[in-house]
Amino acid sequence: MTAMQCVLDAQAKLAECPRWDERTQTLYFVDIDSFQLHSYHLESKTQQTRTFNEEIGCFSLAENGGFIAAFRTGVYTFSDFNAPLTPYWLATYDQKTTRFNDGRCDAKGRFLAGTMYSPKDAFKGALHQFSQGKEKLIDQAAWTSNGLAFSPDSSIMYYSDTPNHIVYQFDYDIETGSASNKRVFIEFPRGNGRPDGAAVDAQGNYWTALYQGQRVAKISPAGEILEEFPVPAIYPTMVAFGGPNMDTLFVSTCRAAHSEEELKLYPQAGGIFALNTNTKGQQEPRFAG
């Protein structure tokens, strides 16, 4: 297994939500603090950037083309990369303190997205589910919603609260979209990285970016850390499997949190890194509507 390499020196303030499109062999990601959605075609090295009027926290590709995305003001769809936004659900929370952060679709094409509560003095971050034009509240007990992922058989949902260093598991009913039996999956010690965005591979292992921890951890379904992989940036934010064989792990990173001295050591912070792995990821589900 080779060392992690920078595949795109994006210089992003806060790159998040890397997402592989197997139909076009394109990697997408957002830069939350720059209000941007990016696409990057690995083979041709062509890049597109779209800038919005507010933070875009996460998105999923739609089954019939286009996107669904979660912003500060709510959830919107758009039919292609540059198409106008169509409101799907407008936020009912206080937009001054809360915005959407991490999310993805389940295997039935429901879009799940979680919010972060910036003051971090109450557990007001929530996980929402969107399907068939309706919104459902799944959980409300986090400061910063992150780490959403599903086991290969969809029976387990993972969800992390980054500032509290905890990843949770839920039992998930894929037929109804209901989550229950919340419990701690793994808790990381303070001072050595916090669990941020994640992905589950085809064997059911949970891969998490450890923000401020300079590494990615591979964790077994039983909650045992199997391997750790160093990242050439202090603040990795999320991981995604992709590439022609679905065995490349893409890692997004944050640049804005680094000091000037740290940037001298990690000049490609804010970039997208890639690691060739010995495992394959799951194909990302698409939004069904």
- Residues 106, 161, 196, 201: which is the catalytic one? 196
Rg, Å, the chain Cα set: 17
> Among positive and negative, which fits the CA dihedral 278, 1, 264, 48?
negative
Number of Cα atoms under 13 Å in the Cβ half of residue 63 = 13
CA angle, residues 273, 192, 1, in degrees to nearest 5: 35
> Among positive and negative, which fits the CA dihedral 233, 239, 241, 244?
negative
Residue with structure tokens 């000049």? 267
* Known catalytic membership, residue 139: no
Which pair of tokens denotes residue 64? 């019939």
Residue 165 · residue 195 · CB < 8 Å: yes
Name the burial class of residue 219, with classes exposed (0-12), middle (13-18) and buried (19+) by CB atoms within 10 angstroms of its CB: buried
Residue of 250, 156, 252 lying closest to 204 (CA atoms):
156
Q: Which residues are catalytic?
A: 196
